[in-house]
């Protein structure tokens, strides 16, 4: 079969040990058919093949974000950006949105971080100044807290007498009145009152979000929802796919609140095709570092009475996990604190994992999402148990000051990618967008340097013993993500027979100054042999 497209004069990092690096590759339809030297690949082409000189640019396999809240990200592109350096700056954003919104209409947004604003949580009174006639609900950067104004509290019926919901907490002042801050499951007390978009609305919002992905070099995503009652993004993806508008490879994870429905329908992990398939069942074990709700073995530094929050206890985790595994559904569990990760590892060690009677079937590939802090006794357990470490490198550089402040010396076991690799765990990397920027090169930079864009905390980085090589970091966004999806036989590397998903960069990130990785620009993104973005 003659190739229809030839890429020449490139620095191709195939990430396939049997192929190594190359200067050219040939594509026929959706797949790579050959990789080699310019002369070798040109010899395969006939006069009809398109030939593109990449002028020594770098090519890597298509990058996948293995943890993203894509509907949330897509919708927030048009909502309030609350990630501002100051409280007043955030309130100004809210006031601007209020001025353009009919009276009584909801104002929503994301990104505030009270730790950047001085450490004290904001209040409903603050938001009242900016939008007294609009209900406001802003989620924190971590996604594990919500900030509301007084009108939103009234509409939700939240008063001094409202009890904390299971797995959540309403922050209150000294007199017992709600302050406007809702933690973990308590965010749903207000969230359920916000008008929900339709699947058509979400599909529409996803189109510009996909364009952002392509410009960032993403060819695939693993989608997570924030609520237990919706698979609306899955419907939106199907609408886009039916119309020929789905340009990303999507793994859709199932919220545990819909586990019984998934079992009743006979759905199993891996159902679908190379464009849209089902992943694992997602469960939350604890909260997050920012609001100090991550579940800890010992208290937070300076807070002797605070060990965080257990969102789902071990018994319930085991119940859900066993039920899911018995029906061919793998688990993926959010765990941040060292207690949460320890408990999840205990559960996953106990959950049955049968090899189903299907030709060439694989054991279920369970995942822990984030794995942000492990106790030393648990360092080797993910590798031993075959559990995927689904981590987000940019969290380390974003959170390092908070981790030092609230976890202290325990941070030696935080965001410990090198430790996990040495212990034999597969790393699957993502961004957690919109919690963090969607650009995967920011994640590669963080994994390689353990430094922020401004160079802090110094030349060696934060806990430098955990730094990765460029190839190891890129592999987390390519082969590791493909392995987590059960697609490593056709994605994650560039070799004959593999799907033609690739990214062209303006510089060789494998050999440039590591601090320059973050500044690298994507000049071309190809999915299934089709350019989705090109500036070549």
Q: Rounded mean pLDDT of 71-77? A: 90
Q: What whole-number percentage of the chain has pLDDT above 90? A: 90
Q: Residue 100: CB partners within 8 Å, gap ≥ 6?
A: none
- Tokens representing 33 are 């058919």
- Asked whether the beta carbons of 144 and 290 are under 8 A apart, the reply is yes
What is the bridge-based pairing of β-strands 522-527 and 502-505? antiparallel
Could you tell me the pLDDT band of residue 359, with boundaries at 50, 70 and 90? very low
Residue 343, judged by CB atoms within 10 A of its CB (0-12, 13-18, 19+), counts as buried
Looking at the predicted structure, is the pLDDT value of residue 29 above 90?
A: yes
Q: Walk me through the domains of the chain, giving residue ranges and CATH numbers.
A: 5-62+498-534 (2.30.40.10), 70-191 (3.10.310.70)
pLDDT at 516: 97
Looking at the predicted structure, is the pLDDT value of residue 228 above 80?
A: no
Looking at the predicted structure, is the pLDDT value of residue 357 above 50?
A: no
Q: pLDDT tens for residues 247-301? A: 999 999 999 999 999 999 999 999 999 999 999 999 999 999 999 999 999 999 9
- Tokens representing 48 are 């009809």
The backbone torsions φ and ψ at residue 368, rounded to the nearest 5 degrees and listed phi first, read -115, 125
Looking at the predicted structure, is the pLDDT value of residue 120 above 70?
A: yes
Three-state DSSP class for residue 227: coil
Q: DSSP string covering 485-523, please?
A: TT-TTTSSS--TTSB--EEEESS-TTTS-GGGGGG--EE
Could you tell me the pLDDT band of residue 354, with boundaries at 50, 70 and 90? low
- Tokens representing 317 are 């985790």
Looking at the predicted structure, is the pLDDT value of residue 445 above 60?
A: yes
Could you tell me the pLDDT band of residue 350, with boundaries at 50, 70 and 90? very high
Q: pLDDT tens for residues 187-198? A: 999 989 988 889
pLDDT at 143: 83
pLDDT at 454: 97
Distance between CA atoms of 298 and 407, rounded to whole angstroms? Answer: 9
Query: In sequence order, what E strands does 404-509 have?
Result: 427-429, 502-505
Q: Rounded mean pLDDT of 168-192? A: 94
The backbone torsions φ and ψ at residue 53, rounded to the nearest 5 degrees and listed phi first, read -85, 115
Distance between CA atoms of 256 and 168, rounded to whole angstroms? Answer: 17
Residue with tokens 């000294």: 174
What is the bridge-based pairing of β-strands 145-148 and 136-140? antiparallel
What is the bridge-based pairing of β-strands 178-184 and 168-172? antiparallel
Task: Tell me what the pLDDT averaged over the chain comes to.
Answer: 95
pLDDT at 355: 56
Residue 359, CA atoms < 13 Å, CB-side half-sphere? 0
pLDDT at 353: 74
For 298, which DSSP code? S
Distance between CA atoms of 255 and 463, rounded to whole angstroms? Answer: 34
Q: Rounded mean pLDDT of 382-394? A: 97
């Amino acid at each position: 079969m003659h190739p229809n497209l030839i890429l020449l004069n490139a620095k191709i990092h195939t990430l396939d040990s049997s192929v190594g690096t190359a200067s050219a590759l040939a594509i026929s339809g959706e797949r790579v058919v050959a990789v080699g030297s310019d002369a070798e690949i040109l010899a395969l082409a006939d006069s009809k093949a398109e030939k593109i000189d990449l002028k020594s640019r770098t090519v890597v396999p298509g990058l996948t974000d293995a943890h993203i809240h894509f509907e949330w990200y897509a919708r927030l592109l048009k909502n309030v950006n609350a990630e501002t350096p100051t409280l007043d700056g955030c309130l100004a954003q809210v006031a601007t949105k209020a001025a353009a919104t009919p009276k009584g209409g909801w104002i929503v947004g994301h990104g505030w971080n009270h730790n950047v604003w001085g450490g004290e949580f904001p209040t409903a009174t603050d938001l009242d100044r900016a939008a007294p006639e609009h209900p406001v609900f802003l989620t924190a950067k971590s996604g594990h807290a919500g900030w509301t104004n007084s009108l939103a509290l009234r509409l939700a019926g939240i008063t001094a007498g409202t009890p904390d919901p299971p797995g959540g907490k309403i922050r209150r002042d000294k007199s017992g009145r709600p302050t406007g801050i809702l933690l973990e499951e308590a965010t749903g007390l207000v969230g359920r009152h916000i008008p929900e978009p339709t699947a058509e609305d979400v599909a529409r919002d996803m189109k510009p979000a996909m364009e952002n992905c392509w410009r960032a070099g993403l060819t695939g995503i693993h989608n997570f929802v924030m609520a237990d009652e919706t698979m609306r993004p899955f419907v939106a993806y199907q609408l886009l796919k039916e119309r020929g508008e789905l340009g990303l490879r999507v793994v859709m994870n199932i919220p545990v609140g819909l586990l019984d429905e998934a079992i009743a329908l006979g759905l199993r992990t891996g159902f679908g095709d190379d464009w849209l398939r089902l992943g694992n069942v997602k469960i939350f074990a604890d909260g997050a570092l920012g609001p100090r709700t991550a579940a800890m073995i010992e208290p937070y530094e300076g807070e002797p009475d605070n060990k965080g929050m257990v969102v789902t206890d071990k018994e319930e985790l085991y119940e859900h996990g066993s039920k899911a595994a018995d029906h061919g559904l793998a688990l993926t569990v959010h765990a941040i604190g060292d207690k949460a990760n320890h408990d999840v590892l205990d559960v996953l060690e106990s959950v049955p994992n049968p090899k189903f009677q299907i030709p060439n079937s694989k054991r279920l590939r369970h995942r822990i999402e984030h794995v942000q802090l492990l106790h030393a006794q648990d360092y080797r357990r993910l590798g031993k148990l075959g559990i995927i470490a689904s981590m987000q490198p940019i969290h380390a550089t974003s959170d390092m000051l908070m981790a030092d402040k609230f976890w202290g010396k325990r941070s030696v076991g935080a965001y410990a990618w090198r430790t996990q690799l040495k212990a034999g765990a597969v790393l699957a990397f993502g961004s957690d967008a919109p919690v963090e920027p969607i650009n995967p090169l920011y994640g590669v930079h963080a994994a390689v340097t353990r430094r922020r864009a401004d160079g802090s905390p110094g030349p060696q980085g934060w806990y430098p013993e955990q730094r990765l090589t460029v190839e190891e970091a890129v592999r987390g966004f390519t082969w590791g993500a493909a392995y987590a999806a059960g697609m490593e036989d056709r994605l994650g590397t560039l070799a004959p027979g593999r799907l033609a998903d690739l990214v062209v960069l303006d510089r060789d990130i494998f050999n440039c100054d590591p601090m320059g990785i973050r500044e690298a620009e994507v000049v071309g993104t190809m999915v299934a042999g089709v350019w989705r973005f090109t500036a070549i």
